[in-house]
Amino acid sequence: MNSFNKDKKLFKIRHSCAHILAQAVRERFEAEGPVHLGGGPPIEDGFYYDFRLPRSPSDEDIEWLEARMKEIIGSACRFEKEEIDEARARELFSDQPFKIELIDLIAAGKSDDNGEAAEEEDAAPALSIYRHDGFYDLCKGPHVEESSQINPEAIKIVSVAGAYWRGSERNPMLVRIYATAWESRADLEEYLEIVEKRKSRDHRVLGKRLELFHFDQSAPGMPYWLPNGLIVLNELIDYWRRVHRKNGYKEFSAPLINDKKLWEISGHWEHYRDNMFVIEEDEDTVFGVKPMNCPNAMVIFNLKVRSYRDLPLRLSDCDVLHRNERSGTLSGLLRVQKFQQDDAHIFLAEEQLEDEFDRVLDLCHEFYRLFDLEYSFRLSKRPDEFVGSINQWDRAEAILEGVLEKRAGKGNFQIAPGEGAFYGPKIDILMRDSLGRKWQMGTIQLDFQLPSRFGCHYVDRDGSRKVPCVIHRVIYGSLDRFIGILLEHTGGALPAWLSPVQVIVAPVSDRHLDYARLICDKLCDRDIRAEVSEVEGTLSKRVREAVLMKVPFIVIVGDKEAASSCLTLRLRDGSEQRDLALDQALELILGEI
């Protein structure tokens, strides 16, 4: 786990509650069979713990567990740390196979006590347990000193799910119990309100209601973009193209599939093969459906001799990609198998890196400001499996760290050891939405490896051949995922320029249809996406339907408007402007879109 608030009170409360939950689960289920403990870290919204249980927990079990947790908290038990050696750890957890596996990993310096990659600060193997109320668990802490520091009225078990041990489908499926803990009852209630709001803003529900996209059993994780949704997708791409042309990017498009030899050169065949769709015509003819466009950008760079004068060379694309994901991980637009990604590969000399990273971060800011999204940075460092030398990685990581210190300030960004791509470290841009959730969006990656593997070079000032560096970067990330996040962020009320239908013209009755169509035609002539509502029934029904479809502007026309060649304009906030001339309405609408 990264250093997220380790020294803060809430982190300690949640960490201690995870241990208390594990104690309660053992008490509840051990009479029925072995209870094997996995791990239980605090997370931003609460905490969870993974178990292998004799049976699945029922609603009655969850109710009992929550009540028992409150009893344990009320007993004012102390949390005490004890340093132990490896032999003692194996003795204490001899009946706990997952803990033994963690002990092996910790001893090798590869994991922490929750099965996550060890941080650099945790590289020296260390073993400790925490005890409370007769229960103990493998843990390095920190915890509250005493359970009386936890408010029993501010905890709640929120859900039960399945999770593979240590996140790998090759490992056993465990029961994951999610819960939350806060400092006060008021904080808990506020959080539970947000959870309910999240349910009402589920992008899958909004996507169906607003007729944006569809998923079919015939193509799991591959969205059908319906006419309304395709407008949103294309508007995002059109804006992306305009901004990138202005910033010196050259767009290309590449084949959907490539011979596996290309993926072998790039290293994807070795490191990413399990996440690719593969087409085997025969033993000697094997293609990979592209999960990313990096190798194709290398092909384009190598089409002709490049000079130092050509650098930075900024190649962008918005191609369709496919990734073979586990079926259990698919989740609406947020986790798909077919998607479009706003990609770019920037070829440059090493001395140009700092300036170019500044340009890229400025570009990211321009995009995210448009959608009123807050963001922060995370530096993802070298994973266990990587290509290239340690020295190259150290140099690349130092450059990225320096860029972030300049941009955000020292200590004002997260560091994620082991989370980089196999060919280079990266800066992840984390967005916070209106419901308080964080999402990974943009990624900026420095790569010294791929250009070398593809034999890329340019002719420098002195006539020598040099290998360029490459910055891989996305801003939206997956456009599909971005739309899903944007729908939940806005509750479906997309910015007017993105809305599939920007204006609904609602006639008071059918006898006003001709005037409504005249107004609609004039709006369409100004490239405003307008439609006439011909919903059966009253005006209020037509307006209500437009409101449900999150249309930004509703034009109302009746006898008075038709007689005086004016209109009434209803805005998204419910306010109305009456007796507007068409030119006035056009000016107002165009100002918003």
Catalytic residues: 294, 323, 341, 343, 345, 426, 472
CA 104 to CA 93: how far, in whole Å? Answer: 12
Structure letter (DSSP) for residue 118: P
Contacts of residue 409, defined as CB under 8 A and 6 or more positions apart, other chains included, come to: none
Question: What is the phi/psi pair of residue 70, to 5°?
Answer: -65, -35
Check if the beta carbon of residue 174 is closer than 8 Å to that of residue 51: yes
Q: Residue 326: phi, psi to the nearest 5?
A: -60, 140
Q: Residue 24: how many CB atoms within 10 A of its CB?
A: 24
Between the CA of residue 157 and those of 45, 47, 392, 532, what are the distances in Å?
12, 9, 46, 49
| Distance from C-alpha of 577 to C-alpha of 319, rounded to nearest angstrom | 43
Rg (CA), the chain: 28
Cα–Cα nearest to 444, from 336, 363, 389, 338? 363
Distances from the Cα of 340 to the Cα of 205, 215, 237, 262, 368, angstroms: 22, 16, 10, 21, 18
296's enclosing H/E stretch is helix 294-301
**Residue 280 CB neighbours (<10 A):** 10
Q: How far apart are CA 288 and CA 295, in angstroms?
A: 12
- Reference 244, options 341, 365, 342; nearest CA is 342
